Amino acid sequence: MSSPCYGVALFYSTNWAIRAEKLALNAGFQVKLVPTPRQLSADCGTALRFDWPDRDRLTVLLEDNEIAIEQVAKL
C-alpha cells in the first residue's frame, strides 16, 4: 500500500494561509496548516498541506476567491 501523496501551497503571508485553510475546509478539502518546508523557502511561514490529487481543484478554488498563492509544490 502506498503512502499518501501531499502537496503544499505557499502564500505571501500567514494571513493568506489562514484564509486559504478556512476556505478549503468549508469547501470540503482535507487540508492542514504546516510550517513551510525549508527546502521550499528560507522564510519562516505557514503553508497549506493538501492531498496532491486535489491540487487542480484547490488552486482553482483559491484563485477564484482571490487568494494569492506564491508557490505550489509536491512533497
In this prediction, residue 67 carries a pLDDT of: 95
Q: Dump pLDDT digits (tens) for 30-50.
A: 999 999 988 887 666 899 999
Class of domain 6-74: alpha beta
Rounded-to-integer distance, Cα 68 and Cα 10, Å: 9
Regions in the chain scoring below 50 on pLDDT? none
pTM of the model: 0.90
- Scored b (16 or more CB within 10 A) or e, 38-62 reads eeeeeeebbbbbbebebbeebbebb
Rounded-to-integer distance, Cα 31 and Cα 57, Å: 13
The answer to whether residues 22 and 53 touch, using CB atoms and an 8 Å cutoff, is: no
SS3 42: coil
Q: Where are the domains of the chain?
A: 6-74
